[in-house]
Amino acid sequence: MHAPKLTPEIVLRAYAEGLFPMAESREDPSLFWVSPDARGVFPLESFKVARRLARTVRSDKFTVTVDTAFREVMEACAEPAEGREETWINAEILSLYGALFTGGYAHSVETRLDGQLVGGLYGVHLGGAFFGESMFSRATDASKVALVHLVARLKAGGFTLLDAQFLTPHLASLGAIEIPRVRYLAQLNTALGAPATWPSYCPASSGKAGMASLAPALGETALTGAAAMTAGAWPGELAMQLITQTS
C-alpha cells in the first residue's frame, strides 16, 4: 500500500499501529507502508552479549555517543554496502526522520574510532517502544557495540520493546527473534503505555576517566561519581552493568 505525502505526525501514528514506511530504492521518490506477518524483535529482558563482544564493549575501543550525528548515521545507512547493494532510505525518508529527530522522537547511536564515525544505528522512540530502522559498520564490531549501548539505554529508561522490523541472519546472530504480527501488536500496545523515558544523562566520556555507579533517585536510575559530570559517551562498563543487572 503506497503512502500519501507523509508528515512526521502521520509516521508516528503509523508506528503506533504497527506500520512503518519504506521506499523501493534510494532513487524511488515514493513510499509504501509495511506491516510484516512475522516481526523481528530483540527481547530486552533476555538480551545477552557474547563474551568477545562484551570484552570489546568494556575496552572502550570505540567512543560511543548518542544523538550527535543523526544525519550522518542515516546517510551512512543509506550507502550501498557488501551484501546490501540497494537501500530503502530515499530523500523523503531522510527528511521525515530528520524532522522526527528534531522533535525528539528519533535517535542515533554513533561509534567512533580515532575520531572517525565508523558505525551506528538510528530509530524511532514512542512510549516504551524503540523501532530500530537501520545500522551500518565500517569497522569490525562497530554496529554491534552501538546496539549494546542502545539496549543499555533502553533498559535504563524502562523500555519494553525493541523492534527490529525484519529478522535477518545478522540480527539473529545478535539475539533477535521472529514473532507473529498478532503477538507483536500486543507487545506494542503494552509498550506504548509504558512510562519509559529516553535517558538524557551521560557520563563525561568513554574510556578510563572514572567508574560510574548506579543509584536510584526519584524513581530513576542516576549516575554518581566521576563519570556523572557532563554530556558525552557512556563507558562500556556502565553499558554492560546496565544490561547484566537488569537481565
Q: Give the mean pLDDT of 192-204.
A: 74
pLDDT of residue 132: 96
107 neighbors 70 (Cβ within 8 angstroms): yes
Q: What is the pLDDT of residues 107-140, one digit of tens each?
A: 999 999 999 999 999 999 999 999 999 999 999 9
Per-residue pLDDT reduced to its tens digit, 33-64:
999 999 999 999 989 999 999 999 999 999 99
Nearest to 204 by CA among 224, 180, 186, 189: 224
Distance CA 26, CA 225 (A): 46
Looking at the predicted structure, is the pLDDT value of residue 87 above 90? Answer: no
Residues 68-76: what's their mean pLDDT?
96
Q: Phi first, then psi: what are they for 128, rounded to 5°?
A: -100, 25
Mean pLDDT of 198-226: 41
How many other CB atoms sit within 10 Å of the CB of residue 120? Answer: 34
Residue 5 has a pLDDT of: 77
